[in-house]
Amino acid sequence: MVDAIIEFFSYGFVRNAIIASALISILVGFIGTYVVSRRLVFLSGGITHASFGGIGIAWYLGWNPLLGAAIFSIVSAVGIEYLTGEKRLREDSAIGMLWALGMALGVFFVFLTPGYAPDLMSYLFGNILTISTSDNLMLLVLSLVTALFFTLFYYPILFLSFDEEYVKTQHVKARVINFTLKILVALAIVLSIRAIGIILVISLLTIPANIANLFTKRFGNIIWLSALICFGSTILGIILSYRLNVPSGATIVIALALIYLLTRFYFHLKGAIFRDSLRKGL
C-alpha cells in the first residue's frame, strides 16, 4: 500500500495537485476566515453558482470557460455590493436572483452551443488531479495578491468583519475595501472550481475556518490554522480518492466534514468531562 501511494505521488499531475492544494489552502485561510467572520456564506454561494453563467456564455462564444466564470463572478460580486450597499435591494433577494440566473444562463448557453457539449460534471464537481501548471500560476498570483492585501489592510479587514460602522468612523474607505474583498472572493471561487467544482467549493470557504474557530477565536490565528486544516484535508482526500477510486472533490469535502464532526465531538466530550469534574469537586 505504501509503495502504491509513493508511486502515485511520483506522477506530475499529482505534484500539480499538491501544489494547487497548498495555494488553494492559502486562499482558504484568508478568504474563508473573512467569509465566515463576516457571515457571507450565502453571498459566496450566490457568486459560486452565478459563475456557471459565465462558463456557459464563454463556451458559447468560444472563450476559455474559466475566463467567462471570472468575469461573471466579479460582475455578480460588484453588482451585489452596489445593489445592497445603498439599500436598493435586500441582500438575500439580490443573491437569490443572481444564484438562479447564473445557473440558468449556464445551462441555456451550453445547450445552445453547436457540437459537443462540455462535461458539466467537471465544472459542477471538479477534479483537483486535472489542475495544470498554468492553473497553479494563476493560483500563485492570486494567493500573493490576497496575502499582500490582507497584510496591508489587516486591521480594517478585521474590524470590517465584525463592525463595519466602526470602520466608517475611522475615516477608512470601507466601501473600497468591501469591493476589493468581494472581487478577491469571486476570483478565489473561480480558481478553485477546477479543483473541487461549483457545487462543493463553498465547503472550502466555510468548513476549515469553522474547524479552526473551535480551537481559537483570534482572527489571525484562524487564518493560518484554517489554511493548514484545508491543506491536510485536501491531501487526505486525494489519497483516499486514489485508493477508493472515487471523485477527489467529494472525498475532500467528506474528509473536511468528518474532521469537523470529530473535532466538535472532542470539544463537547472535553467540556462534559470538565463540568463533571467540577461537580465532583463541589
Query: Tell me, what's the pLDDT at 256?
Result: 92
Above 60 in pLDDT, residue 18? yes
Q: Is residue 239 part of a domain?
A: no
Report d(CA 163, CA 171) in Å as an integer.
Answer: 14
Provide the mean pLDDT of the chain. Answer: 84
Q: What is the CA radius of gyration of the chain?
A: 20
Q: What element of type H or E holds 142?
A: helix 133-152
Q: Is residue 42 part of a domain?
A: yes
Tens-digit pLDDT profile for residues 129-160: 888 888 899 999 999 999 999 999 898 888 88
* Domain, as residue range, for 134: 12-201
Q: Is residue 143 part of a domain?
A: yes
Tens-digit pLDDT profile for residues 223-248: 999 999 999 999 998 888 888 888 88
Q: Is residue 217 part of a domain?
A: no
Q: Considering its fold, how many domains does the chain have in total?
A: 1
For residues 178 and 104, the answer to whether their CB atoms sit within 8 Å is no
Q: Is residue 165 part of a domain?
A: yes
Above 70 in pLDDT, residue 192? yes
Least confident of 1-15, 17-31, 135-149: 1-15
Q: Is residue 227 part of a domain?
A: no
Q: Is residue 66 part of a domain?
A: yes
Report d(CA 43, CA 92) in Å as an integer.
Answer: 8
The CATH number linked to 100 is 1.10.3470.10
Query: Tell me, what's the pLDDT at 241?
Result: 85
Report d(CA 2, CA 30) in Å as an integer.
Answer: 34
pTM: 0.86
Q: Is residue 249 part of a domain?
A: no
